[in-house]
């Protein structure tokens, strides 16, 4: 039987941040995830915003962690080589009724200790965002709201955790947790049992099912679907900031913002649904995005879209972010209610979890040789011609551009496959290097990516999946 100190269930942003934090100590860490790739569910399909916490419910764990997390991202993304940009958010008031709400929003920000929120006039807002609804009466500016590459972020946390000794069991499902005499003993998985002293439940959407295995499901999790549009980089109507709607009692509304790669992101919807796997988009959902966002940015051109997708965020019932440990179940840590702010608070949550474990008697000894930094794959398209020339000389595969839309080279794809926790599927390649993320959406590079994956992994093309098993891209040789 495999043996470790801590099992982290879930390789999303929170799970990977917890794992990375744990590797600062001399403890064995195994992260288990049912998916074939790190990145979780909610962590990879969200609005990719690093929040300030200005609108969180004051004096909650969620507000505490989000507000604490935001300033950490400058250093963290530098250390881990993660694309991150402090673009800032604006909250325009279009109607008088919305304008009247601004002081309350600012006051809430103040109570959350987000002191840098400013009032701006309609004129100032239009100067910042010429495509804004010209009826704008004024609004708030939240300068530290930021955008990140959520895929690279989670990969970076995971890769860095691996560099510091953590192990990952991907494509592995947890099927049971055993306790003995009120103490965690082992975790049963589809790939054998793991003996462990601690279990940290970071299973997001499935955290209720994991908690149920130890009889601690005091809540349930319902999937809340958010549908999004991604627009072409060349779309005629763009914004430079995160343009947020003023929430109503019924809905938080739809936002529009640039992505870290220069596309426009528009959405999301918020629809509770019984299925935890149905990530389909719907005509009604997409229409509601169009209708709502036009209040903020009237000329947004949703026909210049390169994709639409849905994410499922865990909606805890009853609501709220919860951190729980129990006296009668030593070694078990339960996180629940990690929702849309989860990406932001992952980093502070990692620290919080470990600190709480220490408070509760964990004897983790600090390491002196923790590797702080991680280097990403060198992106050919971001280099100067001189540097590009040098890269090709070092590795001629940098001279083979596989994805024409995003200018991704064969060398980058091969590196994505052979890194620790490397890409095994077409989607995993896409999330690491961006091949297939552009306007032709894999029409040109898709067949080549399948070929490269098959070659590098030494398997037939029909074994290559879009993501998890069952999503095989092709059926086999045409002439065998």
Partner 1 sequence: MKKEIICTVCPRGCAITVEGGDGKVTSIEGNGCKRGLSFAETEFTSPVRLLTSTVRVAGKENELLPVRTRTPILRDKLFDVMNAIRATTVTLPVKQHDVVISDVCGTGVDVIASRDME
Partner 2 sequence: MYTIQCDVAVVGAGPAGLAAAVAAKENGAARVLVIERDNAPGGILQQCIHPGFGLTRFNEELTGPEYYSRFTEKAEALGVEYLLDSMVLDVDADGGKVTCVNGKYGVTNVEAGSVVLAMGCRERTRESIVIPGSRPAGLYTAGSAQRLINRQNIMVGKKVVILGSGDIGMIMARRMTLEGAEVVMVVELMDYLAGLTRNRVQCLDDFGIPLRLGHTITRIEGEKRVTGVYVAPVDETKKPIAEKAEFVPCDTVLFSVGLIPENELTRKASIAIDGKTNGPAVNQYMQTTKPAVFACGNVVHVNDLVDNVSAESEQAGKYAARYAAGKFPAAKGEAVCKPGANVRYICPQKIVLSDEAEKVNLYFRVLSPARDVTLRVRCGDTILAQKKEFRVNPGEMNSIAVNTADVADGEIVVEVM
Torsion of CA 77, 160, 25, 207, to 10 degrees: 90
Of 225 and 374, nearer to partner 2 (C-beta) is: 225
385 in contact with partner 2 (CB under 8 A): yes
447 in contact with partner 1 (CB under 8 A): no
Among 451, 459, 469, 476, binds partner 1 (CB under 8 A): 451
Work out the angle at residue 147's Cα, subtended by the Cα atoms of residues 204 and 30, and round it to the nearest 5 degrees: 35
471 in contact with partner 2 (CB under 8 A): yes
Of 371 and 461, nearer to partner 1 (C-beta) is: 461
461 in contact with partner 2 (CB under 8 A): yes
Contacts 24+ apart (CB under 8 A), 352-360: 352/65, 352/323, 353/18, 353/21, 353/200, 353/323, 354/18, 354/21, 354/22, 354/24, 354/25, 356/323, 356/325, 357/198, 357/333, 360/325
- Rounded CA-CA distance 45/37 in Å is 14
384 in contact with partner 1 (CB under 8 A): no
Of 324 and 456, nearer to partner 1 (C-beta) is: 456
Catalytic residue among 51, 322, 360, 441: 51
Coil/strand/helix, residue 396: helix
Among 28, 53, 226, 442, binds partner 2 (CB under 8 A): 442
Among 191, 278, 328, 382, binds partner 2 (CB under 8 A): 278
74 in contact with partner 2 (CB under 8 A): no
The CA-atom distances, in angstroms, between 174 and each of 11, 12, 187, 214, 295 are: 12, 15, 7, 12, 45
Minimum distance of partner 2 from residue 394's CB (angstroms): 10
Among partner 2, partner 1, none, residue 247 binds (CB under 5-8 Å by kind) = none
Half-sphere exposure of 425 (CA within 13 A, CB side): 18
Task: Tell me phi and psi for residue 213, to 5 degrees.
Answer: -65, -20
458 in contact with partner 2 (CB under 8 A): no
458 in contact with partner 1 (CB under 8 A): no
In 3D space, the residue among 307, 320, 315 whose CA is nearest the CA of residue 271 turns out to be 315
Would you call 51 a catalytic residue per the annotation? yes
Strands 6-9 and 198-201: parallel
Of 16 and 413, nearer to partner 2 (C-beta) is: 413
Residues touching partner 2, count (CB under 8 A): 59
Binding positions for partner 2, rule: CB under 8 A: 234, 277-283, 285-286, 302-303, 305-309, 385-386, 388-389, 392-393, 396-401, 404-405, 407, 439-444, 446-447, 450-451, 461-462, 465-479
Active site residues: 51
């Amino acid at each position: 039987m495999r043996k470790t100190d801590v099992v982290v269930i879930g390789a999303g942003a929170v799970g990977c941040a917890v794992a990375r934090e744990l590797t600062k100590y001399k403890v064995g860490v195994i992260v288990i995830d049912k998916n074939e790739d790190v990145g979780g569910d909610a962590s990879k399909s969200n609005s990719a915003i690093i929040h300030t916490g200005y609108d969180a419910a004051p004096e909650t764990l969620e507000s505490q962690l989000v507000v604490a997390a935001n300033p950490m991202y400058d250093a963290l993304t530098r250390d881990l080589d993660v694309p991150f940009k402090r673009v800032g958010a604006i909250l325009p008031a279009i109607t008088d009724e919305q304008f009247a709400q601004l002081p309350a929003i600012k006051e809430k920000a103040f109570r959350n200790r987000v002191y840098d929120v400013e009032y701006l006039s309609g004129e100032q807002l239009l100067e910042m965002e010429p495509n804004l609804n010209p009826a704008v009466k004024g609004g708030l500016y939240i300068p530290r709201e930021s955008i990140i590459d959520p895929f690279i972020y989670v990969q970076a946390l995971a890769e860095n955790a691996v560099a510091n000794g953590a192990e990952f069991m991907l494509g592995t499902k947890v099927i049971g947790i055993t306790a003995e005499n009120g103490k965690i003993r082992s975790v049963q998985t589809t790939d054998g049992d793991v003996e462990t002293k601690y279990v940290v439940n970071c299973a997001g959407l499935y955290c209720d099912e994991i908690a149920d295995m130890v009889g601690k499901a005091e809540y349930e999790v319902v999937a809340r679907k958010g549908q999004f549009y991604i627009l072409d980089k060349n779309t005629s109507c763009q914004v430079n900031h995160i343009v947020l709607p003023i929430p109503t009692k019924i809905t938080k509304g739809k936002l529009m913002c640039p992505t870290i790669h220069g596309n426009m992101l528009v959405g999301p919807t918020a629809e509770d649904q019984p299925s935890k796997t149905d990530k389909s988009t719907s005509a009604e959902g997409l229409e509601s995005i169009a209708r709502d966002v036009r209040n903020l940015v009237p000329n947004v051109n949703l026909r210049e879209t390169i994709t639409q997708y849905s994410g499922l965020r865990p909606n805890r019932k009853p609501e709220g972010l919860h951190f729980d440990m129990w006296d009668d179940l030593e070694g078990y840590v339960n996180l629940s209610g990690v929702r849309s702010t989860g990406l932001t608070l992952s980093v502070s949550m990692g620290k919080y979890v470990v600190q709480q474990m220490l408070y509760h008697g964990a004897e983790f000894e600090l390491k002196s040789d923790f590797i702080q930094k991680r280097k990403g794959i060198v992106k050919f398209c971001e280099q100067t011609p001189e540097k590009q020339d040098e890269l090709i000389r070092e590795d001629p595969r940098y001279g083979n551009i596989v994805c024409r839309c995003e200018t991704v080279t064969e060398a980058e794809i091969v590196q994505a496959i052979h890194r620790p926790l490397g890409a095994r599927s077409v989607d995993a390649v896409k999330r690491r290097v961006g091949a297939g993320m552009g306007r032709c959406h894999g029409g040109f590079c898709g067949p080549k990516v399948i070929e490269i994956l098959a070659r590098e992994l030494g398997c037939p093309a029909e074994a290559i999946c879009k993501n998890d098993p069952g999503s095989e891209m092709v059926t086999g040789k045409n002439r065998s």
